[in-house]
Amino acid sequence: MYFFSCPSSLVTLIACYVPFLALLSELVAASPSKSGFRRATTCNGSPDLCDRSFGNVTFVGTHDSYAVGVNNLAANQDYNISQQLKDGVRMLQVQVHNQSGTLELCHTSCLLYDGGPFSAYLETVKSWLDANPNEVLSILVVNSDGFPPTAYDSLYKSVGLDTVSYAPPSASMPASQWPTLGTLIDSGTPLITFMDANAEFTSVPYIISEFTNVWETPYDVTTTFDCSVNRTDGDPSTQMYLINHFLDEMLLGQPVPDPGQANETNAVSGPNSLGAQVELCVSEYGRSPNFMLVDFYEYGGGSVFEVAAAANGITYSPTTPVA
């Protein structure tokens, strides 16, 4: 508590209240969520995005972000998540399996590809968020073996991610009602976690049900990408949406990643390119996708980020080359 006792003469009165006004200004600045004061002047690399609703921004995401490897049919990425985040990826998709009671990052089966415990992955995410306070990041969890949200809550708390996670006011929100990137940053909750199955708003509100808030296009595409609604538990006309833009090829009757086509698949333009799918979706729905999941994101030399910049109406001007 602060107390001030000032004399009654006008000159001394003004002089007395100068430090009080300075202190008041500091207190207001320290409470951005209550005052509306914005600390963040650049959000996700652009000042133009700070006033933009999360539901009105396009983010590059990595499909099976943890599945990193060379000459491995189960690998979808060439670089680990630290490099992915450094390059500009802002949605990390993971697939979580039950490995003897541990939440493990595996691709279809832990025998096929074991990416290690989810807890270690989350520690890397927490370190990156701490070092990059002006960035909003999403995690999309494919809850393959149906863990309850409380199991994820325990992991998030163990690494300190629960305190930086955004909890919406309701289990479902239309795209237009999500907070701005600046608000998420200023309130200290820049992490948004979606889960495809078993989310429970009443028990763990920051583990957000994906399909009541986001719809998806078809996945495991081996021919041509389209913009049809493949999975949703809500109203696609008002929900955010995600396009699955990773091309597979068939091997022994199973779809596997196709890095041989990745330069064309991730391109800004051309047949079956990421840019072409975004343009198609905009023509059908009148708005850009919120999330674009890709494999081998660095193929195209940054083209996936160029597509995102165009969708967001900002200039693509990287300060460093993509890995």
Give me the DSSP letters along 41-58. SSBTTBGGGTTSBGGG--
> 217: Cβ–Cβ under 8 A, 6 or more apart, which residues?
225, 226, 227, 228, 229, 230, 241, 242, 243, 244, 281
User: 9: Cβ–Cβ under 8 A, 6 or more apart, which residues?
Assistant: none
Read off the pTM. Answer: 0.88
Residue carrying the six token digits 């008041």: 24
Annotated catalytic residue 97: no
pLDDT level of residue 9 (50, 70, 90 thresholds)? low
Residue ranges of E strands in 44-100 = 59-62, 91-99
* Beta bridge pairs of residue 291: 59, 242
Distant-in-sequence, close-in-space partners of 70: CB < 8 Å, separation ≥ 6 = 78
Lowest mean pLDDT segment, chosen from 15-24, 277-286, 306-315: 15-24
**Token digits of residue 151:** 């199991």
- 63 in catalytic set: yes
DSSP 63: T
Span 286-310, mean pLDDT? Answer: 98
What pLDDT sits at residue 182? 97
Share above pLDDT 90 across residues of the chain, in percent, rounded to a whole number: 82
**Of the listed 104, 107, 165, 268, which one is catalytic?**
107
Is residue 293 helix, strand or coil? strand
Helix then strand then coil, in percent of the chain rounded to 5, is 30, 25, 45
> Tell me, what amino acid is at 292?
M
Beta strands 59-62; 91-99: pairing state = parallel
In this structure, is the dihedral angle defined by the CA atoms of residues 22, 28, 30 and 36, taken in order, positive or negative? negative
- Interacting residues of 150 by C-beta distance below 8 A, sequence separation 6+: 203, 204
Q: Is the pLDDT assigned to residue 30 strictly greater than 70?
A: no
Q: What is the mean pLDDT of the chain?
A: 91
3 has pLDDT over 60: no
**In terms of CATH architecture, what is 48-312?**
Alpha-Beta Barrel (3.20)
pLDDT score, position 39: 77
End-to-end CA distance of the chain: 52
Q: Active-site residue among 43, 52, 63, 289?
A: 63
For 117, the token pair is: 């415990």
CB 107 within 8 A of CB 64: yes
Instruction: Encode pLDDT of 91-147 as tens digits.
Output: 999 999 999 999 999 999 999 999 999 999 999 999 999 999 999 999 999 999 999
The tens digit of pLDDT for each residue in 52-74 reads 999 999 999 999 999 999 888 89
The number of residues in the chain equals 323
Percent of the chain with pLDDT over 70: 88
Label the pairing between strands 240-244 and 291-294.
parallel
Mean pLDDT calculated for residue range 183-197: 98
Domain ranges of the chain: 48-312
pLDDT > 70? residue 13: no
